[in-house]
Structure 1
Amino acid sequence: MKRFIHNLPKVELHLHIEGSLEPELMFELAQRNQVAIPFSSPEEVREAYQFSNLQSFLDIYYQGARVLLHEQDFYDLTWAYLLRCQQDRVLHTEIFFDPQTHTERGIAFDTVIHGICRALAQGEQELGITSQLIMCFLRHLDEESAFATLQMAESHLDKIVAVGLDSSELGHPPEKFERVFARAQAMGLKTVAHAGEEGPSQNIKNAIELLGVSRVDHGVRCVDDPALVEQLSLSRMPLTVCPLSNIKLKVFETMDQHNLMQLLDQGLCVTINADDPAYFGGYMTDNFLAVAEALPMSKAQAAQLSLNAIEASFIDQQLKQKYSQLVTDYLNRCS
């Protein structure tokens, strides 16, 4: 099963590019940019990655992002992630970036997006990895800040496929950003949102009904509402689940308690993703393996998780068919 998972063609839909900042690169950029960080070694950084909840993670996450200052930094960050995608047989990735994390520090929006997009273009050309870019609003900031960020994105609509909503879920429900999301949709952007991770299942409903999302990021708390689970199954509303993240942030105590396979068995369009892999201990293959080791998972189910991600992606139908065929052919060869 390990070999099957390692070589399984994969698609990632829930990845925060700032959350792929490995301690070694953090140190390299800190030295290059002469930014002081409160750690003496990459090992010390890793030891600090013990989180009790989402907020304890976010505190160190935003601290780490301070080393990202120049276009080359964002390029290096994204390129390092794409090399991991190549290792993990990721065919396509739809990455989140958080412009407010950087513009609030005086970094130009253009600096951020140009660095990321230069790496993504090179990734498609040299590695054959296709990609899409999703701009997230930080939900702990106010609506006005989100509108200002959306305005900054107007000259880059050719590079951004959707807007999302991340950061602290508790106390910041989806309805706080209803008007911003309506404006984004009027601009031709798709929408996704983090909901039902630490927050209640009602946040999932509100993200769907008020924000018009095409996908729900996380969504594991849907099980608190059986009617919602049935609705998600019938509508094939995708959930971008992040298993290792959920354990690290204590959404579930242990992986054998995770509800991912239960949701898959109930016909939901669940997918596996890495979230913030540098902080949560694993990229795509690591997440698949962690689930397979803790919960019953057949080769057909692992393949279905990949097929779900292809179905839920924002690529065109022709590319979806191509990638789905690769997964199906691989499963047939290995069965």
Structure 2
Amino acid sequence: MASKPHQLLLSRFLLALSLAGTATAAWRASAAGPAQQTALFSEGFLPLHSEFRGQAALRDLIQRLPKAELHIHIEGTLEPELMFALAAKNGVELPYTDVEAARAARTNFTCLEDFLRMYAAATKVLITEDDFYRLAQQYLARAEAENIRAAEIFFDPQGHLARGVPLETVIRGLSRALAESPVEASLLLCVQREFGAKAAAEALTRAIPYLPKSVIIALGMDGSELGHPPRNFVLAYGEAAALRLHRVAHAGEEGGPSYVREALSLLGAERIDHGIRSLEDPALVAAMVKSQVPITLCPLSNLKLQVYKGQLEDRIRQVLASGMRVTINSDDPAYFGSYVSGNYEWVARIAGLGPDSLAALAANSFTSSFMPQVKQQEGEWVAAQKPE
């Protein structure tokens, strides 16, 4: 997480611990070759860290650790059960016979484009304010159950606007759920690359009337990277800066390290979403280590979408050992098979991480947040969960 040992805000829980040393040892221990991905939880596992007496102990610690989630798409939390309930309510026909058929279909995509098509089709059931409220309410209940204390949640307005759903409907429904939840939560308006640069700026402009009375704190960008480099979206990000919104961008998932460079230098991105392909440019990694700009890693998303097919475990170990500020997130958990705790567990198993390293990852999730109240409470939250 850092290029040299440093203190994180962990009070009596973490003092001057560096994840880099633990992860580097794990990475070197696995130098026999890249692990083969054969299942959601792959054969690339290292032995459990010596401080865990079994898988249950690892899961218990992950559950007890307070966490923040910084890369979560609310539309990507639409579970098949809720999708069918909303489809029946709104008279929307689905291409699946039942919930199980829909769930099975979500195991069949093998690339980002396949996933995005399925994702867009499912959102057609979201029509009323109450639909968006129920969607966010369901995610936040799950987040609370996994001891997520804070969440910065993406929503994609352009797809809903294209279907004739008013922006106010989306924002009001999501905001109502956020206001009722004990999880500290905010929204990030995410423009979709495939709609184009002009449409991105227009989407942000349409949101301006709602900014003073909503919980929107940042502009983000998602969708297919290839053919849509960050430099195309300078106008929208310039407007976001003028509005004093934070700025993040998906980069370095499909696109190479040049996409990360452009997001940082041209868009002013304060966090990089995914960012795993930064590893292909050592100079970029060195710059990100120096600046400590966070990356919101989504391990099981990368696994499911076959990013670095056959080599992902090694790449994750390299990211952890690099000194970059890394956070762990679930991306679109209703499609990728696990929420944030499952992502922590998978990373712990492929890198042999122990309690201190997992706590450092959790601490990074708080220090990388844009919400001041979250930064202020981070040390207190994490310190309260000292391992036995």
2:77 is aligned with what amino acid? S
Distance 2:314 2:274 in 1: 12
| Equivalent residue for 2:171, pick from 113, 119, 122 | 113
Q: Which residue of structure 2 aligns with residue 59 of structure 1?
A: 117
Distance 1:219 1:290 in 2: 18
Is the 1:243–1:258 contact (alpha carbons within 8 Å) kept by the matching residues of 2? no
RMSD value, Cα: 1.3
Provide Cα deviations, 1:85-104, integer angstroms capped at 9, x if missing partner: 01110000000000001000
Q: Which residue of structure 1 aligns with residue 101 of structure 2?
A: 44
- Count of paired positions: 328
Alignment of 1:234-313 (within 5 A): 234-253=290-309, 257-313=313-369
TM-score, length basis structure 1: 0.95
TM-score, length basis structure 2: 0.82
Question: Which structure is richer in relative contact order (CA contacts within 8 A, separation 6 or more)?
Answer: 2
Q: Which residue of structure 2 aligns with residue 146 of structure 1?
A: 200
| Equivalent residue for 1:7, pick from 38, 53, 64 | 64
1:81 aligned onto 2:139: yes
Q: Which residue of structure 2 aligns with residue 16 of structure 1?
A: 73
Q: Which residue of structure 1 aligns with residue 26 of structure 2?
A: none
Distance 1:289 1:276 in 2: 17
Further displaced range: 275-284 or 260-269: 260-269
Is the 1:75–1:116 contact (alpha carbons within 8 Å) kept by the matching residues of 2? yes
SS for the counterpart of 1:140 is helix
Distance 1:255 1:282 in 2: 20
Is the 1:247–1:254 contact (alpha carbons within 8 Å) kept by the matching residues of 2? no
Distance 1:102 1:228 in 2: 36
1:226 is aligned with what amino acid? P
1:291 is aligned with what amino acid? V
| Equivalent residue for 2:242, pick from 168, 174, 186 | 186
2:127 is aligned with what amino acid? L
Is the 2:155–2:187 contact (alpha carbons within 8 Å) kept by the matching residues of 1? yes
Q: Which residue of structure 1 aligns with residue 276 of structure 2?
A: 220
Is the 1:255–1:294 contact (alpha carbons within 8 Å) kept by the matching residues of 2? no
Is the 1:13–1:93 contact (alpha carbons within 8 Å) kept by the matching residues of 2? yes
Unaligned 5+ runs, structure 1: none
Distance 1:258 1:328 in 2: 31
Higher helix share: 1
Unaligned 5+ runs, structure 2: 1-57
In the TM superposition, structure 1's runs of 4+ consecutive aligned residues that sit over 4 Å from their partners are none
SS for the counterpart of 2:149 is strand
Q: Which residue of structure 1 aligns with residue 370 of structure 2?
A: 314
Distance 1:256 1:72 in 2: 39
| Equivalent residue for 1:233, pick from 265, 278, 289 | 289
Distance 2:207 2:243 in 1: 10
Is the 2:136–2:177 contact (alpha carbons within 8 Å) kept by the matching residues of 1? yes
What is the deviation of 1:255?
8.1
Alignment of 1:101-180 (within 5 A): 101-123=159-181, 128-158=182-212, 159=214, 160-180=216-236
What is the deviation of 1:151?
1.5
Provide Cα deviations, 1:23-79, integer angstroms capped at 9, x if missing partner: 000000000001001001111111111221100000100000000000000000000
1:180 is aligned with what amino acid? A
